[in-house]
Chain A
Amino acid sequence: MSAHTQVNHSHEHAEHHSHGGPAVYLKILIALLCLTFITVFVARHPFEDNTVNVVIALVIASIKASLVALVFMHLKYDRKINAVALVAGFLFLGLMLGACMTDYLTRESVLPGAPVPGGPPAPESHHPGVPSAGGAGGHSTPAAPLTGEHAGQPGHPQ
């Protein structure tokens, strides 16, 4: 009987060795730390077009997240149904992000006169007729002191 359980134990050990194991985990940790260094290095040396920096940062973050999910969270070795839950979560997040951003970034072409995305906030005190997308509409009291700063800034659309 004890011999039988012994066999069972060693069988389970063999099974769990396919779950990465300490050597693999250490390699992944080193890879994650290296990628973090790269992220910081790239951010400290910005490109001319800072969209490139944001894209690089997000791509590296996604690689890191994939390593964590696949190895540390065992998705690579587990039943695929677990991955379905995670991918579904990210898929719907992508839908939410995509739908919101396509709306937000195309407002100028659809609704001329609407606030220009990416620019400084429209000073409500100067243009009371333009609705603010910044959500300041309800808070009329702090609007004047908060936006006064932008009056002299270059690149103002008005």
Chain B
Amino acid sequence: MSTADITLGAGGGGEHAHAGHHHGHSDDPYLKHYFANREQQGDTAKLGMWLFLATEILLFGGLFVGFGMMQARHAEAFKAAHHHLDWRLGFLNTVVLLVSSYTMVMAVDASTKSQKKKLVVNLAITLACAATFMVVKYFEYSHKYHDGLLPGRFFTYEGGKDYGQMVFFSFYFMMTGLHGFHILGGMALLTWLLVKSRQGAFHAQYNTPVDLIGLYWHLVDLIWIYLFPLLYLIT
């Protein structure tokens, strides 16, 4: 790699130096011409991602507010309804997501140090954790489906049709469902990252996609941190 660099530098030496003076940063293949430098480019991308994450907080926030109001309204029914959720599965999924957040931040760390193998391994573990989360979710959902603990008019639980419980399961499915779609979206992004990382696309000079998808992944984890106690552990 370094020999190739040297050869390239020696071959076009004079012309390169001359052109470099006029074009400035445009020599940098990772720098868009409308940014002054890489630092500014990276900061801009990151701020854009944070603005998107703020809208995500508000998207889930609406559901959290609705949940809070309905919990105040149907406190007893919500308390009874949460017994249909297995807190052990919720706990397992919490641990799985926390570990995936750790491997994600390790992947970002590896990408800034051009450690390709470490990057690929950490992304693969993150993806595996995401898949585990969805498998657990599948078992939880199918259990609810069999018991008729479904949202709205699909609520056909034989143990008693309770309006408050129906509201609880409406919120349960909307909140965990929206969160689940975010996990699926994250899995698609992680798969893309994994393929590109194996091709060596991310290294110390350029890791913006790893960085930004990492931020997204942490936010999905952060939302689950609130969902788990509210849905599974209400007393």
Q: List residues of A whose CB falls within 8 A of some B CB.
A: 1-2, 5, 9, 12-13, 16, 19-22, 25-26, 28-29, 32-33, 36, 39-40, 43, 46, 50, 53-54, 57-58, 60-61, 64-65, 68-69, 71-73, 78-79, 81-82, 85-86, 88-90, 92-93, 96-97, 100-101, 104-105, 115, 117-121, 133-134, 136, 139, 142-143, 145-147, 149-150, 153
Contacts and interface: CB of A to CB of B under 8 A. Distances in A.
Contacts of A96: 58, 61-62, 65
Interface in B20-52: 43, 46-47, 50-51
Given A93-B57, A121-B73, A121-B163, A46 B229 contact: no
Given A68-B218, A120-B76, A134-B163, A60 B65 contact: no
A89 B54 contact: yes
Contacts, number: 183
Contact of A85 (B50, B102, B225): B50
The 4 closest A-B pairs by CB, nearest first: A89-B54, A43-B233, A57-B229, A85-B50
Interface stretch (B2-10, B137-145, B186-194): B2-10
Most buried by A among B104, B163, B167: B163
Contacts of A54: 234-235
A49 to B, nearest CB: 10
Chain A binding surface SS class: helix
B72 A101 contact: yes
A32 B166 CA distance: 32
A105 B61 contact: no
B126 interface: no
Given A33-B98, A101-B72, A118-B72, A89 B46 contact: no
Chain B interface: which size bin? Answer: 35 or more
A45 B88 CA distance: 15
B83 interface: no
Nearest to B229: A57
A86 B98 CA distance: 20
Contacts of A120: 74, 76-77, 164
